[in-house]
Amino acid sequence: MKIEEKIIKRKNEINGVIIAHNYQLPEIQDIADFVGDSLELSRKAKETDADVIIFCGVKFMAETAKILSPEKIVLLPEIDAGCPMADMITADDVRELRKKYPDATIVAYVNTNADVKAEVDICCTSSNAVKVVNSVKTERVIFIPDRNLGSYVKRFTDKEMIIWDGFCPTHNHLITLEDIKTLKDEHPEALVIVHPECTPDVIDIADYVASTSGIIKLSKELNNKEFIIGTEEGIVHRLKKENPEKNFYPVRKAICYNMKKINLNSLFQAIEKLQYRIELEKWIIDRAYNAIEKMIKL
C-alpha cells in the first residue's frame, strides 16, 4: 500500500480532515481535503463533522484551528514548524503596548501566536486588514506584528498607526524589487501580483496586491495568460493546477522552510499516532476567539 493510501485509510478511521496551506509541498496539497489560507482553512475545518483536524501549516495556524474548534483534536505533523514573524512579538509585548497607549485599539494580524491573540482587541487577515483598521472607533491603532502589512494598510486609512517592527523573512528578504524587475524583463506581458507582506517598493511596482486567496481568485478572473507571483513559491502548484492554460513565474528563492517541513511521512506519523496535539488553556481560547469573532462579524 502506498503511503498516500495509508494516510487516507487512517484518516477515515479517525474521522479526520486534512487541511493544507497554499505554501505546502505539492504532495501535501494534493492529498489534503482542503487547500487555502490559514483562517479560511480553520473555518472550513470547523464546519466539518470531523473529530480530528490535521493542519499542514505552521503552529499559529494550527492554534487558530484549535481556537475555532476547541472540542476537536488538532494535530500539527511537525511540531517545530513555526513562524518567525509570529515569534517577533510576545503577549508581554502586547501588555506593555496597552500600558503605553491606553487610548489605542490593538489590531493583530492572524499570523500571531494564540497567547498574543488573547491580548488584542481584534484580529485581521491580509485581505481584510484595511477594513478592520478603518472599522475601529479609536483614532489611534496599534498594528502587530507585520510592519509591511501595516505600512500597506496605512496607505488606506486616516487613523494614526503605531506599527510593530516585525516581518516575514520570506517576503521581506527573499522577494526584492530587483527580483520582480528581472522577471518583468523576462516576461514583459506578465501581470505582477504580490502579497502585502512584501516590502513597500515591491508593492509599488505590482499591478495587484492580494492575499493568498486573493491571488488564487485574481489568477482565475483576469484574462492575462502570464503572471509574476510575489509570495512564497508553494502557491504556484495550486495556481498551475487550477489554471493549466496560464503561466506563473514565482521568485524562485522565496521559500519558507517552515512551510516545507511537513512531508508525507510526517503526515502519516501524525495521523497514525495522533501527534502532535495542539493544546491551549481555556482562557486563551476564549479571549483569542473573541478577537477573531469580532473580525468575522465585519
**Which residues are documented as binding site for [4Fe-4S] cluster?**
83, 168, 256
Q: Which three cell numbers stand for residue 47?
A: 464546519
**Binding site for iminosuccinate: which residues?**
21, 38, 109-111, 126, 195-197, 212
Strands (E) located in the chain = 16-21, 34-36, 52-56, 73-75, 105-109, 122-124, 140-144, 160-163, 191-194, 208-209, 226-230, 247-250
**Binding site: which residues?**
21, 38, 83, 109-111, 126, 168, 195-197, 212, 256
DSSP-assigned letter for residue 197: T
* Residue in this structure with the C-alpha cell 518567525, named with its chain if needed: 84
* Residue in this structure with the C-alpha cell 507585520, named with its chain if needed: 146
Q: What is the SS3 string spanning 48-82?
A: CCCCEEEEECCHHHHHHHHHHCCCCEEECCCCCCC
What share of residues in the chain are helix, strand, coil (percent, to 5)?
45, 15, 40
Alpha-carbon span 137 to 8, nearest angstrom: 48
Element containing residue 294 per DSSP (H, E)? helix 282-297
Which positions ≥6 away from 113 have C-beta within 8 Å?
59, 60, 63, 86, 87, 91
Which positions ≥6 away from 10 have C-beta within 8 Å?
16, 268, 271, 272
CA nearest to 85, candidates 147, 163, 143: 147
Calculate the alpha carbon distances from 97 to 106, 116, 133, 202, 211 in Å: 9, 12, 17, 29, 27
